[in-house]
């Protein structure tokens, strides 16, 4: 932790704390909000439930990372048929500290849809362009200056051989200037603790970590924010914060949960969307994986926006977890993990979910309903991805369907049913959004076109919840640009 962060971090909060603007949640939405407000000279307090960890505090994609930086160690599910496992970051920097850094701008047709269906103002491609460019520069979005991981190349080769569109996706990573083009460079992820949070702190923003906010209430002109400061497992201290203006940036699950716990419910937590994802472990005859494989960078966009493919983190622990769908072959991971990698097919989807708070429970109840079309898309996506992997030379495929026969030749693809079996298919997602959509359509939207909660003064949402629908691409690029646009509007600088 830098000296500056140490100096601005509140370690023994006195209650009540007061500030002009409180920002709750320090993921991309919260970190960028706090940074731009502090740089504009505002008195800002950034509050985060999780702890502050440096990027180097643990190995990326390790078990230690799951324990330190994920909510509930990554074990969270949206209930429905089938259930969908989702994950959220819970540390200073939120999801940006644990993600793969794959960057996309919001597709123009999605922006058009949001303007038409949700009546979002000032959201054309041209209007967002300066915000994309500024964020890309701030987090150093770039391509890999070296050789992509072998497992990623397999995906690319399979797609090219079938004549399908495949691309290298740029990432928010910083690489050493000189790298050997024959080697896969490591680089440093430009998460929020590397970029916007130090900037916010340098501009005078205060940081209160290990503090979970339970409730907000408006009294007169002030927002009263109540939570608990929990610096370790033995201590817990009630904290109250008073602020004139409040930005809620707790992510697409926790933002609606906090608002609903506080009695703010209109269009809040009713329209959650996620990119539902089905996975396949592919086994090749040759080595495709290594301890230093890094993050795969290719995505196949041939069938986009309906679905797209990519390669996942494929470390032995991740392979072992994936193989629980095929327990009789789990020994393959011990013996052959270097010849194995995990691939995914992600749908944009039409399904929707809800976030609700249950009395006496800390975590919200998340439900998700996939439509018949979603199940069909997942099935078609799995078939096409499997076809691609055989084309790339895979010898055995293990789909994430419990006890489903493994696939050993292209002819086996006909065994994948047109609708994936609801009770056996294991879906997951790392992209949740749209639980409090923005726009002027009062039937659907929780906040106005710039994130101000409809019907409330000085209350804003600034995170993935605002995206009107699933964008069909990795969402952090959209979250960053929309956050920047909304904060500049708040500051009267748009
Ligand atoms: C494993 C993984 C891989 C991903 N890969 C990519 C990728 O390659 N590219 C991409 O674009 N996106 C990716 N994503 C998604 C991306 O990280 C998220 O979309 C993004 O982080 C969401 O930002 P946010 O600000 O909305 O919320 P978050 O990042 O979720 O941050 C919310 C923060 O608020 C805090 N908080 C929540 N509730 C409270 C409370 N009550 N009180 C105080 N604090 C609270 C949380 O602890 C958290 O730190 C990935 C996500 C994960 C988990």
Cα separation, 447 vs 466, in Å, equals 8
Half-sphere exposure for 261 (CA within 13 Å, toward CB): 22
Strand order across the 141-142 sheet: 141-142, 171-174, 188-189
User: Are 405 and 378 within 8 A, CB to CB?
Assistant: no
| 171 Cβ below 6 A of ligand 1 | no
Q: Cα(first)–Cα(last) distance of the chain, in Å? A: 33
DSSP-assigned letters across all residues of 235-261: --EEEEEEEEEEEE-SHHHHHHHHHHH
CB-ligand 1 contact for 101 (6 Å cutoff): yes
The answer to whether the beta carbons of residues 77 and 363 sit under 8 Å apart is: no
Q: Residue 230 and residue 207: Cα distance in Å, rounded?
A: 14
State yes or no: is 431 an active-site residue. yes
Rounded Cα gap, residues 456 and 461, in angstroms: 11
**Contact assessment for residue 424 and residue 440, using Cβ atoms and an 8 Å cutoff:** no
Task: Indicate if ligand 1 lies below 6 Å from the C-beta of 47.
Answer: yes
Structure tokens at 155: 């995906």
Q: Is residue 463 in contact with ligand 1, taking CB distance under 6 Å?
A: yes
- Cα–Cα distances (Å) from 226 to 47, 229, 232, 261, in that order, read 11, 10, 19, 12
36 in Cβ contact with 490 (< 8 Å) = no
By CB neighbour count within 10 A (0-12 exposed, 13-18 middle, 19+ buried), where does 454 fall? middle
CA atoms within 13 A on the CB side of 366: 25
Q: What is residue 204's predicted lDDT score, i.e. its pLDDT?
A: 96
Asked if 80 and 369 touch (Cβ cutoff 8 Å), the reply is: yes
Ligand 1: atom nearest CA of 254 is 38
Cβ–ligand 1 distance for 432 under 6 Å, the answer: no
Which position among 12, 298, 431, 454 bears the catalytic label?
Answer: 431
Q: Are 144 and 185 in contact (CB under 8 A)?
A: yes
Low-confidence ranges of the chain (pLDDT < 50): none
Give the dihedral sign, CA 145/94/484/1. Answer: negative
Question: Could you identify the residue written with the tokens 């209430």?
Answer: 217
pLDDT of residue 241: 97
Residue 259: asked if its preceding bond is cis (omega within 30°), the reply is: no
Pocket test for ligand 1, best of 24, 26, 27, 225 (most atoms within 8 A of CB): 27
CA of 405 to the centre of ligand 1 (A): 35
Q: Which of 51, 295, 257 is nearest to 171 (CA)?
A: 295
- In this predicted structure, what is the pLDDT of residue 272? 98
Does ligand 1 come within 6 angstroms of the Cβ of 353? no
User: Is 208 near ligand 1, meaning CB less than 6 Å away?
Assistant: no
Ligand 1 neighbour 49 (Cβ under 6 A): yes
Q: What are the angstrom distances between the C-alpha of 389 and each of 80, 152, 159, 385? A: 30, 11, 9, 6
| 125-138 vs 108-118: helix crossing angle, rounded to 10 | 130
Q: Report the distance separating Cα 414 and Cα 114, nearest Å.
A: 38
How far apart are the CA of 296 and the centre of ligand 1, in A? Answer: 20
Pocket test for ligand 1, best of 139, 251, 259 (most atoms within 8 A of CB): 251
Contact (Cβ atoms closer than 8 angstroms) between residue 490 and residue 450: yes
Cβ atoms of 267 and 444 closer than 8 Å: yes
Cα–Cα dist 128/126, whole Å: 5
Q: Which of 229, 246, 234 is nearest to 51 (CA)?
A: 229
> Rounded distance, CA 65 to CA 233, Å?
18
- Say how many Å lie between the CA of residue 419 and the centre of ligand 1: 31
Gap from CA of 75 to ligand 1 centroid (Å): 15
pLDDT digits (tens, 9 = 90+) for 142-169: 999 889 999 999 999 999 999 999 999 9
Task: Out of 89, 248, 473, 482, give the residue to mutate to test ligand 1, the one with the largest number of ligand atoms within 8 Å of its CB.
Answer: 89
Fill in the DSSP letter of residue 407.
B
- Closest-CA residue, ligand 1 atom 2, reads 99
Alpha carbons 187 and 148: distance in angstroms, whole number: 12
| Domains, in order of start, for the chain | 3-52+91-139+190-269+435-490 (3.50.50.60), 145-187+276-429 (3.30.410)
Q: Are 281 and 322 in contact (CB under 8 A)?
A: yes
CA distances, 221 to each of 20, 214, 264, 447, 485 (Å): 11, 20, 17, 20, 26
């Amino acid at each position: 932790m830098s000296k500056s962060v140490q100096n601005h971090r509140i370690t023994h909060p006195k209650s009540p704390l007061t500030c002009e603007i409180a920002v709750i949640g320090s993921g991309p939405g919260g970190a960028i909000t706090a940074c731009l407000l502090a740089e504009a000279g505002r008195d800002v307090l950034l509050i985060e439930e999780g702890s502050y960890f440096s990027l180097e505090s643990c190995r990326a994609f390790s078990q230690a990372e799951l324990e330190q930086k994920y909510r509930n160690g990554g074990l969270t599910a949206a209930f429905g048929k089938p259930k969908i496992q989702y994950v959220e970051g819970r540390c200073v920097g939120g999801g940006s500290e644990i993600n793969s850094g794959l960057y996309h701008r919001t597709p123009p047709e999605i922006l058009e849809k949001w303007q038409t269906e949700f009546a979002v103002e000032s959201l054309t491609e041209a209007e967002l362009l300066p915000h994309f460019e500024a964020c890309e520069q701030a987090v150093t979005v770039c391509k890999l200056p070296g050789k992509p991981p072998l497992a990623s190349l397999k995906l690319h080769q399979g797609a090219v051989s079938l004549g399908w569109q495949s691309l290298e996706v740029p990432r928010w990573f910083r690489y050493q200037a000189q790298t050997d083009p024959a080697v896969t460079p490591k680089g440093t992820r430009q998460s929020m603790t590397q970029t916007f949070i130090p900037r916010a702190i340098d501009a005078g923003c205060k940081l209160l970590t290990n503090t979970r906010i339970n409730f907000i209430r408006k009294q007169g002109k002030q927002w009263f924010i109540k939570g608990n400061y929990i610096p370790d497992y033995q201590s817990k201290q009630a904290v109250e914060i008073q602020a004139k203006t409040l930005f809620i940036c707790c992510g697409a699950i926790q933002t609606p949960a906090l608002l609903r716990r506080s009695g703010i419910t209109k269009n809040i937590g009713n329209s959650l969307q996620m990119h539902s994802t089905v996975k396949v472990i592919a086994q090749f005859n040759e080595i495709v994986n290594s301890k230093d494989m890094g993050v795969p960078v290719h995505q196949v966009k041939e069938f986009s926006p309906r679905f797209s493919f990519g390669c996942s983190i494929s470390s032995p622990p991740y392979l072992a977890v994936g193989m629980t769908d095929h327990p009789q072959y789990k020994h393959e991971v011990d013996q052959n993990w270097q010849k194995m990698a995990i691939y995914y097919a992600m749908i944009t989807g039409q399904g929707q979910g809800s976030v609700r708070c249950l009395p006496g429970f800390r975590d919200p109840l998340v439900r998700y309903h996939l439509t018949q079309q979603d199940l069909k898309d997942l099935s078609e996506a799995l078939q096409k991805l499997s076809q691609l992997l055989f084309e790339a030379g895979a010898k055995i495929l293990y789909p994430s369907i419990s006890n489903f026969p493994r696939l050993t030749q292209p002819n086996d693809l006909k065994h994948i049913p047109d609708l994936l079996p609801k009770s056996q298919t294991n879906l997951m997602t790392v992209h949740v959004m749209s639980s409090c959509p923005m726009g002027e359509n009062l039937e659907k939207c929780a906040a106005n076109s710039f994130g101000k909660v409809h019907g409330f003064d000085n209350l804003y949402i600034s995170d993935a919840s605002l995206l009107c629908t699933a964008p069909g691409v990795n969402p952090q690029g959209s979250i960053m640009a929309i956050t920047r646009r909304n904060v500049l509007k708040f500051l009267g600088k748009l």
